[in-house]
Structure 1
Amino acid sequence: MELRHLRYFEALGRTLNFTRAAEQLHIAQPPLSRQIRQLEEELGAELIDREARPLALTKAGTFFLEQCTQLLARVKEVQEATRRISQGQRRWLGIGFVPSALYGFLPELIRSYGEQSKGVEIVLSEMTSVQQATALKSGRIDIGFGRLPLEDPEIICETIAEEALVAALPLKHPLLKSPRLTLAALAKEPFILYPVRPRPSYADQVLQQFRIHGLTLSSIIDANEMQTAIGLVAAGVGVTLVPSSVQRLRRDDIVYRPLSDSSIMSPIIMNRRAGNDSPDLIRFCELVKIHAKGTPPTPRPRRRRSA
């Protein structure tokens, strides 16, 4: 198996169309089809359901596409890191983060560190908490911000902040009559759970909160990421729970409500590789604690003015 096989399959898996994939790869369609066949023979698994209309991935194909995407991203990072070293740019800091971390102090932290550390190139990578574990151990990132504690002796996990969870509901939802909502009320509604994979994830934290309170969700709609979940809420498909800092994502078609139980929280966890004591990383960690302590309170939802 060669890198070109991964690139070919990634293009096909993304487009689900041999013609478009071939055009993006700047090759003819017949060679692309042959290369995919060769790849399937080497793996001993069918990756494409050629009978489906439109074209579809098999379960093995879906798994392999995820792995291809990660491997190709890693190859690109290695190429860029090698280029930086060859040009004398040896100092860089890799930061992994879950999307919800961007609504808190992380953007200001990165700006502040960049201003104070002009000689350090900051490389940002969006990834789940589970993906951060692999990235830390491989050296792909130096530090990560997630929602889950990583049970790994090679990784140091530190909870730097706790965020209350709030409910996100569509406009005119009946539950909006209450200023605060209970988990019991939310459990009766179609509930949008994210991310659906990889697991464990923030989704498992949410499910655990319902279990602790002796509740079972009546209906679950899976979403791949938070932005998708928010969009589904806006469309009236269901409700969801988000960290309170997400209220900074101002949308006119979403209303947030605090929970009656203010102890329901989601942690922000800083992850780093044990034994990595580089001066740049230590300086960044010190700055993290300053910014985490200075995180402003979650903004209250804006009141709508009557027409």
Structure 2
Amino acid sequence: MNQQEINCTLEAAKTLNFNRAAENLYLSQPTLSHHIKNLETELGFQIFNRNGRSISLTDAGKQFCQGLREIDADLKRLIEQCQNFSNSYQESIRISLFTRSAIKKLPQAMQIFSHQASAVYVEPVFDQSVNRLDHFLAGQSDILLVRNQEIKNMRQLVAYPLYETVVKLVVKRNDPLAKLTTVTPADLSGRTLLVGGGSSRELRALQDEVTRNQDIKTLISHDHATTLTRIAAGQAVCLSPDLYQDDDPHFAWLNFQPTIRMPYYLVVKKGASQRVIDFIQILRRLYQPET
């Protein structure tokens, strides 16, 4: 399987038209068909059903193209990373986090570290999957940002405290609640609260407490982006750790009582390199000047 065969197959799967796929790739239609046929022969199964001028994906083809698309994207990303690395660097440090705002001072830390270790390439890895810890353990990153509960009883890991995130109430900027200095559960009476979406144990407990004792409706939201969209639409409000707070002017992040704090840690495997530890200490000093 070569890159040309991959490109032809994925483009045909997207357009479901050999002629259009060939035009998009600046190839002749016979050339594109030849590449796809070669790949099907190599694989031992048909990717496309051909019925005159129309084509469709076979069941095997659907599954294959879905996986191939992910592999192709990963391969291109890997090539770009290695090109960056080989051009200027001798060593790399990969730090895994689930959203850019989770470590707002990361760019500052990278800049400081570049003056101390100019040959070391620091690469943020944004992983929002439920398998973040497994990916880290498999060696896909050197540093992992986690809550303490995620790594309890894992003796092969070393955890460095970074900061505590505070749960706040997120509302639309023009919501009447935005005028309050601090919001309490009683202030949410008659409102709709977004819940779910992979909330931590502490946050779920707070959501349950608030909705149990007040006249508050709930609406399940499966991820933070959906939550913000519903808030912007005026459908609901939500309780969220302030590590997600960014500079979006459409939302107000309000203090909420009772106050819930959740510690976050930078985690490495035992035996991590001194360069990795040095970078962690820079981050910790930025968040904890007394460190």
Shorter chain as denominator, the TM-score bin is 0.5 to 0.7
Paired letter, 2:166: A
Q: For structure 1, list consecutive stretches of 5 or more residues without a partner in the other structure.
A: 47-54, 195-200, 296-307
Choose the corresponding residue for 1:209, options 206, 211, 233. Answer: 206
Relative distance call for 1:124 and 1:73 in structure 2 (3 A) is farther
In the alignment, the residues of structure 2 paired with residue 141 and residue 166 of structure 1 have an alpha-carbon distance, to the nearest angstrom, of: 30
User: 2:230 maps to what in 1?
Assistant: 232
Paired letter, 1:285: I
User: 2:162 maps to what in 1?
Assistant: 160
Q: For structure 2, list consecutive stretches of 5 or more residues without a partner in the other structure.
A: 48-55
1:189 equivalenced with 2:178 (yes/no) = no
1:285 equivalenced with 2:288 (yes/no) = no
Q: How far has the Cα of 1:146 moved from its partner?
A: 3.8
Q: How far has the Cα of 1:8 moved from its partner?
A: 6.9
User: 2:150 maps to what in 1?
Assistant: 149
Q: How far has the Cα of 1:149 moved from its partner?
A: 2.0
Does the CA-based 8 Å contact 2:85-2:121 persist in structure 1?
no
Q: State the Cα RMSD in Å.
A: 4.7
In the alignment, the residues of structure 1 paired with residue 129 and residue 185 of structure 2 have an alpha-carbon distance, to the nearest angstrom, of: 25
In the alignment, the residues of structure 1 paired with residue 114 and residue 63 of structure 2 have an alpha-carbon distance, to the nearest angstrom, of: 38
TM-score by length of 2: 0.67
User: 1:117 maps to what in 2?
Assistant: 117
User: 1:294 maps to what in 2?
Assistant: 289
Paired letter, 1:220: I
Q: Deviations over 1:124-174 (max 9, x none)?
A: 221127443233233322112244624655544444211111111114434
Q: Deviations over 1:64-112 (max 9, x none)?
A: 84x6565445434554566578668431111221215456322322222
User: 1:169 maps to what in 2?
Assistant: 171
Paired letter, 1:249: D
In the alignment, the residues of structure 1 paired with residue 72 and residue 162 of structure 2 have an alpha-carbon distance, to the nearest angstrom, of: 32
Relative distance call for 1:88 and 1:286 in structure 2 (3 A) is same
User: 2:90 maps to what in 1?
Assistant: 90
User: 1:134 maps to what in 2?
Assistant: 134
SS in 2 for 1:230: helix
Specify the structure having the higher radius of gyration (Cα): 2
SS in 2 for 1:118: coil
User: 2:182 maps to what in 1?
Assistant: 180
SS in 1 for 2:162: strand
In the alignment, the residues of structure 1 paired with residue 79 and residue 202 of structure 2 have an alpha-carbon distance, to the nearest angstrom, of: 36
Relative distance call for 1:231 and 1:150 in structure 2 (3 A) is same
In the alignment, the residues of structure 2 paired with residue 71 and residue 285 of structure 1 have an alpha-carbon distance, to the nearest angstrom, of: 31
| Count of equivalent residues | 270
Relative distance call for 1:9 and 1:204 in structure 2 (3 A) is farther
Does the CA-based 8 Å contact 2:101-2:246 persist in structure 1?
no
Does the CA-based 8 Å contact 1:145-1:269 persist in structure 2?
yes
Give 1 or 2: higher strand fraction: 2
